[in-house]
Structure 1
Amino acid sequence: MTSPATPSTAPHWLTFQLDGQAYAAPLAQVSEVIRMAEVTPVPGAAADLLGVRHLRGRVVPVLDGRRRLGLPPCDADSEGVRVVMLTHATHWIGLRVDAVGELLVPDAAVAAPPPGRAARTDDPVTGVLPWKGGFVALLDVRRLCRLPQTETA
Protein backbone atom coordinates (compact mmCIF):
# COMPACT_ATOMS: atom_id res chain seq x y z
CA MET A 1 0.00 0.00 0.00
CA THR A 2 1.22 3.51 -0.71
CA SER A 3 1.97 6.02 1.98
CA PRO A 4 -0.93 8.29 2.95
CA ALA A 5 -1.19 11.46 0.91
CA THR A 6 -1.75 14.80 2.50
CA PRO A 7 -5.20 16.26 1.80
CA SER A 8 -3.78 18.85 -0.61
CA THR A 9 -2.08 16.14 -2.71
CA ALA A 10 -4.65 13.37 -2.23
CA PRO A 11 -6.28 12.06 -5.38
CA HIS A 12 -9.96 12.63 -5.98
CA TRP A 13 -12.28 9.60 -6.05
CA LEU A 14 -15.74 9.05 -7.54
CA THR A 15 -17.98 7.18 -5.11
CA PHE A 16 -20.73 4.77 -6.07
CA GLN A 17 -23.00 2.28 -4.32
CA LEU A 18 -23.09 -1.49 -4.61
CA ASP A 19 -25.47 -3.36 -2.29
CA GLY A 20 -25.60 -0.44 0.14
CA GLN A 21 -21.82 -0.17 0.48
CA ALA A 22 -19.81 2.79 -0.78
CA TYR A 23 -16.95 2.11 -3.18
CA ALA A 24 -14.74 4.57 -5.03
CA ALA A 25 -12.55 4.63 -8.12
CA PRO A 26 -9.81 7.19 -8.81
CA LEU A 27 -11.36 10.11 -10.65
CA ALA A 28 -8.35 10.20 -12.99
CA GLN A 29 -9.49 6.78 -14.28
CA VAL A 30 -13.17 7.67 -14.73
CA SER A 31 -13.93 8.89 -18.23
CA GLU A 32 -17.69 9.35 -17.79
CA VAL A 33 -20.87 8.02 -16.24
CA ILE A 34 -23.64 6.85 -18.56
CA ARG A 35 -27.06 5.25 -18.32
CA MET A 36 -27.28 1.49 -18.60
CA ALA A 37 -28.09 0.47 -22.17
CA GLU A 38 -28.35 -2.74 -24.12
CA VAL A 39 -25.23 -4.91 -24.02
CA THR A 40 -24.40 -7.81 -26.30
CA PRO A 41 -23.69 -11.01 -24.35
CA VAL A 42 -20.35 -12.72 -24.93
CA PRO A 43 -20.65 -16.53 -24.99
CA GLY A 44 -18.25 -18.25 -22.60
CA ALA A 45 -17.31 -15.02 -20.82
CA ALA A 46 -16.73 -14.69 -17.08
CA ALA A 47 -19.93 -14.60 -15.01
CA ASP A 48 -19.39 -10.96 -14.04
CA LEU A 49 -19.15 -9.77 -17.67
CA LEU A 50 -22.59 -8.52 -18.71
CA GLY A 51 -21.45 -8.17 -22.32
CA VAL A 52 -20.06 -5.53 -24.64
CA ARG A 53 -21.53 -2.29 -25.92
CA HIS A 54 -20.60 0.30 -28.49
CA LEU A 55 -19.54 3.68 -27.19
CA ARG A 56 -18.49 6.26 -29.76
CA GLY A 57 -16.77 3.78 -32.05
CA ARG A 58 -15.31 1.59 -29.29
CA VAL A 59 -16.43 -1.86 -28.25
CA VAL A 60 -16.38 -1.70 -24.45
CA PRO A 61 -16.81 -4.64 -22.05
CA VAL A 62 -19.31 -3.97 -19.24
CA LEU A 63 -18.81 -5.69 -15.88
CA ASP A 64 -21.48 -6.18 -13.24
CA GLY A 65 -19.96 -4.49 -10.19
CA ARG A 66 -22.01 -6.61 -7.80
CA ARG A 67 -20.96 -9.92 -9.33
CA ARG A 68 -17.32 -8.84 -9.60
CA LEU A 69 -17.20 -8.08 -5.88
CA GLY A 70 -19.18 -11.17 -4.83
CA LEU A 71 -22.34 -9.29 -3.86
CA PRO A 72 -25.94 -10.45 -4.38
CA PRO A 73 -27.66 -9.51 -7.66
CA CYS A 74 -30.13 -6.65 -7.91
CA ASP A 75 -32.84 -5.34 -10.19
CA ALA A 76 -31.01 -4.06 -13.26
CA ASP A 77 -33.95 -1.79 -14.13
CA SER A 78 -33.55 0.38 -11.04
CA GLU A 79 -33.67 4.12 -11.80
CA GLY A 80 -30.26 4.85 -10.27
CA VAL A 81 -28.30 2.14 -12.12
CA ARG A 82 -25.42 3.62 -14.10
CA VAL A 83 -22.30 2.49 -15.91
CA VAL A 84 -19.08 4.09 -14.74
CA MET A 85 -16.65 4.11 -17.66
CA LEU A 86 -13.18 3.33 -16.34
CA THR A 87 -9.86 3.57 -18.13
CA HIS A 88 -6.51 1.95 -17.46
CA ALA A 89 -3.69 2.51 -19.96
CA THR A 90 -5.34 1.75 -23.33
CA HIS A 91 -8.26 -0.21 -21.87
CA TRP A 92 -11.84 1.05 -21.45
CA ILE A 93 -14.18 -0.91 -19.18
CA GLY A 94 -17.73 -0.19 -18.06
CA LEU A 95 -18.78 -1.03 -14.51
CA ARG A 96 -22.49 -1.29 -13.72
CA VAL A 97 -23.21 0.22 -10.29
CA ASP A 98 -26.40 0.67 -8.26
CA ALA A 99 -25.99 4.45 -8.03
CA VAL A 100 -23.30 7.06 -8.48
CA GLY A 101 -22.39 9.09 -5.42
CA GLU A 102 -20.21 12.12 -5.11
CA LEU A 103 -16.66 13.31 -5.46
CA LEU A 104 -14.48 12.35 -2.51
CA VAL A 105 -11.30 14.15 -1.51
CA PRO A 106 -9.76 12.17 1.35
CA ASP A 107 -9.14 14.12 4.53
CA ALA A 108 -7.93 11.09 6.49
CA ALA A 109 -5.27 8.44 6.01
CA VAL A 110 -6.17 5.39 3.98
CA ALA A 111 -6.44 2.26 6.15
CA ALA A 112 -5.54 -1.23 5.03
CA PRO A 113 -8.32 -3.43 3.64
CA PRO A 114 -10.20 -5.61 6.16
CA PRO A 115 -8.28 -8.71 7.35
CA GLY A 116 -8.27 -11.54 4.83
CA ARG A 117 -8.77 -9.28 1.82
CA ALA A 118 -5.16 -8.12 1.62
CA ALA A 119 -3.98 -11.71 1.17
CA ARG A 120 -5.96 -12.10 -2.07
CA THR A 121 -3.89 -10.94 -5.05
CA ASP A 122 -7.01 -10.45 -7.20
CA ASP A 123 -8.92 -8.39 -4.64
CA PRO A 124 -9.55 -4.92 -6.08
CA VAL A 125 -10.04 -3.24 -2.67
CA THR A 126 -6.76 -1.47 -1.87
CA GLY A 127 -7.83 0.40 1.24
CA VAL A 128 -10.67 2.02 3.14
CA LEU A 129 -11.44 5.54 4.28
CA PRO A 130 -13.79 6.64 7.05
CA TRP A 131 -16.77 8.34 5.40
CA LYS A 132 -20.26 9.43 6.48
CA GLY A 133 -20.36 7.32 9.63
CA GLY A 134 -19.07 4.25 7.80
CA PHE A 135 -16.35 3.70 5.28
CA VAL A 136 -15.72 3.78 1.56
CA ALA A 137 -13.72 0.98 -0.08
CA LEU A 138 -11.09 2.27 -2.52
CA LEU A 139 -10.69 0.20 -5.68
CA ASP A 140 -7.72 -0.49 -7.93
CA VAL A 141 -9.09 -0.27 -11.49
CA ARG A 142 -6.46 -2.60 -12.97
CA ARG A 143 -7.26 -5.39 -10.49
CA LEU A 144 -11.01 -4.70 -10.60
CA CYS A 145 -11.00 -5.21 -14.36
CA ARG A 146 -8.45 -8.07 -14.25
CA LEU A 147 -6.02 -6.24 -16.52
CA PRO A 148 -2.38 -7.28 -16.92
CA GLN A 149 0.25 -5.85 -14.56
CA THR A 150 2.15 -4.32 -17.48
CA GLU A 151 1.20 -3.42 -21.02
CA THR A 152 2.68 -5.46 -23.86
CA ALA A 153 3.52 -3.91 -27.19
Structure 2
Amino acid sequence: MNSEQLAQASAGSVRDDALDDLNARVSANRNEWLRFVVDRQDYGINVLQVQEILCAGDITPVSGAAPFVLGVINVRGNIVTVVDARRRLGLPPREADGGIDWIVILDVNDEHVGLVVDEVLEVEVLDDSLVENLQGDASFQVEGVIEKETGMMILVDASTMAGINEASGQHGAAA
Protein backbone atom coordinates (compact mmCIF):
# COMPACT_ATOMS: atom_id res chain seq x y z
CA MET A 1 0.00 0.00 0.00
CA ASN A 2 1.50 3.35 -0.95
CA SER A 3 0.98 6.81 0.53
CA GLU A 4 -1.57 7.79 -2.13
CA GLN A 5 -3.77 4.82 -1.24
CA LEU A 6 -3.49 5.71 2.44
CA ALA A 7 -4.37 9.35 1.70
CA GLN A 8 -7.45 8.24 -0.26
CA ALA A 9 -8.68 6.38 2.79
CA SER A 10 -10.79 9.30 3.97
CA ALA A 11 -13.81 7.65 5.59
CA GLY A 12 -13.73 5.68 8.85
CA SER A 13 -14.08 2.12 7.58
CA VAL A 14 -11.83 2.66 4.56
CA ARG A 15 -9.18 4.25 6.78
CA ASP A 16 -9.59 1.45 9.32
CA ASP A 17 -9.15 -1.15 6.56
CA ALA A 18 -5.96 0.58 5.38
CA LEU A 19 -4.57 0.65 8.92
CA ASP A 20 -5.59 -2.98 9.51
CA ASP A 21 -3.76 -3.96 6.31
CA LEU A 22 -0.61 -2.11 7.35
CA ASN A 23 -0.79 -3.47 10.92
CA ALA A 24 -1.21 -7.00 9.55
CA ARG A 25 1.99 -6.64 7.52
CA VAL A 26 4.06 -6.03 10.65
CA SER A 27 5.69 -9.41 11.21
CA ALA A 28 8.58 -11.03 13.02
CA ASN A 29 11.14 -10.51 10.23
CA ARG A 30 14.01 -8.53 11.74
CA ASN A 31 14.86 -7.08 8.31
CA GLU A 32 11.44 -5.45 8.00
CA TRP A 33 11.24 -1.75 8.65
CA LEU A 34 8.24 0.55 8.93
CA ARG A 35 8.91 3.45 6.57
CA PHE A 36 7.49 6.79 7.64
CA VAL A 37 7.98 10.47 6.80
CA VAL A 38 8.91 13.40 9.00
CA ASP A 39 9.46 16.77 7.29
CA ARG A 40 9.68 15.21 3.81
CA GLN A 41 12.47 12.81 4.91
CA ASP A 42 12.01 9.01 4.94
CA TYR A 43 12.79 7.22 8.19
CA GLY A 44 12.52 3.60 9.27
CA ILE A 45 11.95 1.80 12.56
CA ASN A 46 12.37 -1.96 12.87
CA VAL A 47 8.92 -3.58 12.86
CA LEU A 48 9.85 -5.77 15.81
CA GLN A 49 9.43 -2.61 17.91
CA VAL A 50 6.14 -1.51 16.30
CA GLN A 51 2.98 -2.61 18.07
CA GLU A 52 0.43 -0.85 15.84
CA ILE A 53 -0.38 2.27 13.84
CA LEU A 54 -3.20 4.66 14.69
CA CYS A 55 -4.72 7.82 13.31
CA ALA A 56 -4.14 10.54 15.86
CA GLY A 57 -6.89 11.36 18.29
CA ASP A 58 -7.11 13.64 21.27
CA ILE A 59 -3.82 13.91 23.14
CA THR A 60 -4.02 14.99 26.76
CA PRO A 61 -1.08 17.25 27.73
CA VAL A 62 0.92 16.33 30.83
CA SER A 63 2.44 19.19 32.82
CA GLY A 64 6.08 18.71 33.71
CA ALA A 65 6.68 16.24 30.86
CA ALA A 66 9.86 16.28 28.80
CA PRO A 67 9.76 18.88 25.98
CA PHE A 68 9.40 16.19 23.31
CA VAL A 69 6.35 14.62 25.00
CA LEU A 70 3.04 15.85 23.57
CA GLY A 71 0.98 14.13 26.26
CA VAL A 72 -0.86 10.85 26.69
CA ILE A 73 -3.61 8.89 24.93
CA ASN A 74 -5.81 6.00 25.97
CA VAL A 75 -5.33 2.95 23.75
CA ARG A 76 -7.88 0.29 24.72
CA GLY A 77 -7.61 1.09 28.41
CA ASN A 78 -3.84 1.59 28.47
CA ILE A 79 -2.31 5.03 28.96
CA VAL A 80 0.37 5.61 26.30
CA THR A 81 2.88 8.48 26.28
CA VAL A 82 2.91 10.34 22.95
CA VAL A 83 6.19 11.74 21.62
CA ASP A 84 6.59 14.22 18.75
CA ALA A 85 9.04 12.84 16.16
CA ARG A 86 9.73 16.37 14.93
CA ARG A 87 10.83 17.50 18.40
CA ARG A 88 12.98 14.36 18.79
CA LEU A 89 14.69 15.18 15.49
CA GLY A 90 15.12 18.90 16.25
CA LEU A 91 12.78 19.94 13.42
CA PRO A 92 10.29 22.80 13.32
CA PRO A 93 6.65 22.03 14.19
CA ARG A 94 4.42 20.78 11.40
CA GLU A 95 2.18 23.36 9.81
CA ALA A 96 -1.48 22.81 10.58
CA ASP A 97 -2.76 21.66 7.19
CA GLY A 98 -5.68 19.48 8.26
CA GLY A 99 -3.85 16.31 7.21
CA ILE A 100 -3.89 13.03 9.08
CA ASP A 101 -1.48 12.73 11.97
CA TRP A 102 -0.19 9.22 12.45
CA ILE A 103 0.79 7.67 15.75
CA VAL A 104 3.13 4.69 15.58
CA ILE A 105 2.80 2.74 18.84
CA LEU A 106 6.24 1.45 19.74
CA ASP A 107 7.00 -1.37 22.16
CA VAL A 108 10.34 -0.48 23.73
CA ASN A 109 11.55 -2.50 26.70
CA ASP A 110 7.94 -3.48 27.47
CA GLU A 111 6.89 0.20 27.51
CA HIS A 112 4.41 1.48 24.94
CA VAL A 113 5.12 4.90 23.46
CA GLY A 114 3.27 6.64 20.64
CA LEU A 115 5.40 8.43 18.04
CA VAL A 116 3.62 11.15 16.03
CA VAL A 117 4.88 11.20 12.43
CA ASP A 118 3.75 13.08 9.33
CA GLU A 119 2.95 10.03 7.24
CA VAL A 120 3.22 6.24 7.39
CA LEU A 121 4.20 4.71 4.05
CA GLU A 122 4.75 0.95 4.17
CA VAL A 123 6.63 -1.99 5.63
CA GLU A 124 9.76 -2.87 3.66
CA VAL A 125 12.23 -5.73 3.80
CA LEU A 126 15.71 -4.25 3.63
CA ASP A 127 18.91 -5.93 2.54
CA ASP A 128 21.34 -5.61 5.48
CA SER A 129 24.30 -5.50 3.09
CA LEU A 130 22.98 -2.22 1.62
CA VAL A 131 22.65 -0.45 4.98
CA GLU A 132 25.46 2.02 5.65
CA ASN A 133 26.44 2.52 9.28
CA LEU A 134 26.96 6.06 10.47
CA GLN A 135 29.34 7.43 13.05
CA GLY A 136 27.93 10.42 14.83
CA ASP A 137 26.48 11.97 17.90
CA ALA A 138 26.09 9.30 20.57
CA SER A 139 23.10 11.16 22.04
CA PHE A 140 20.93 10.17 19.08
CA GLN A 141 21.20 6.60 17.82
CA VAL A 142 20.93 6.10 14.05
CA GLU A 143 21.07 2.45 13.08
CA GLY A 144 22.07 3.23 9.53
CA VAL A 145 21.10 4.75 6.20
CA ILE A 146 19.98 3.03 3.04
CA GLU A 147 19.66 4.51 -0.44
CA LYS A 148 16.20 4.00 -1.92
CA GLU A 149 14.82 4.98 -5.30
CA THR A 150 13.05 7.86 -3.52
CA GLY A 151 16.21 9.03 -1.70
CA MET A 152 17.92 8.20 1.56
CA MET A 153 16.02 6.39 4.30
CA ILE A 154 17.36 6.94 7.81
CA LEU A 155 16.97 3.94 10.11
CA VAL A 156 16.43 5.11 13.67
CA ASP A 157 16.50 3.36 17.01
CA ALA A 158 13.01 3.06 18.53
CA SER A 159 14.12 3.65 22.12
CA THR A 160 15.94 6.82 21.07
CA MET A 161 12.93 8.11 19.13
CA ALA A 162 10.65 7.27 22.06
CA GLY A 163 12.95 9.15 24.42
CA ILE A 164 12.84 6.29 26.93
CA ASN A 165 16.36 6.87 28.26
CA GLU A 166 15.98 10.64 28.49
CA ALA A 167 12.46 10.61 29.95
CA SER A 168 13.32 7.99 32.57
CA GLY A 169 16.01 10.28 33.91
CA GLN A 170 13.32 12.93 34.47
CA HIS A 171 10.05 11.40 35.69
CA GLY A 172 9.44 8.33 33.56
CA ALA A 173 8.20 8.36 29.98
CA ALA A 174 4.75 9.75 30.74
CA ALA A 175 5.72 12.65 32.92
Q: Same fold (TM over 0.5)?
A: yes
In angstroms, what is the RMSD of aligned CA positions?
1.7
Give yes or no for contact 2:144–2:156 (8 Å, CA) kept in 1: yes
Question: Residues 1-150 of structure 1 correspond to what in structure 2 (within 5 A)?
Answer: 11-76=31-96, 78-107=98-127, 108-113=129-134, 118-148=135-165
Q: Which has the higher strand share?
A: 1
Q: Which amino acid aligns with 2:126?
A: P
Instruction: Measure, in 2, the Cα distance between the counterparts of 1:52 and 1:77.
Output: 22
Q: Which has the higher helix share?
A: 2
TM-score, normalised via structure 1 length: 0.81
Q: Which amino acid aligns with 2:155?
A: L
Structure 2: gaps (5+ residues): 1-28, 166-175
**Partner residue of 2:26?**
none
1:54/1:17 CA distance change after superposition, 3 Å: same
Give yes or no for contact 1:124–1:143 (8 Å, CA) kept in 2: yes
Give yes or no for contact 2:33–2:47 (8 Å, CA) kept in 1: yes
Identical residues among aligned pairs (%): 37
DSSP 3-state at the match of 2:164 = coil
Structure 1: gaps (5+ residues): 1-8, 149-153
Cα distance, 1:147 vs structure 2: 2.5
Cα distance, 1:37 vs structure 2: 0.8
Cα distance, 1:144 vs structure 2: 1.8
TM-score, normalised via structure 2 length: 0.72
Task: Give runs of ≥4 in structure 1 deviating > 4 Å.
Answer: none
**Partner residue of 2:7?**
none
- Say how many residue pairs are matched: 136
Instruction: Measure, in 1, the Cα distance between the counterparts of 2:53 and 2:89.
Output: 19
Cα distance, 1:109 vs structure 2: 2.0
Give yes or no for contact 1:10–1:106 (8 Å, CA) kept in 2: no
Worse-superposed segment, 132-141 or 119-128: 119-128
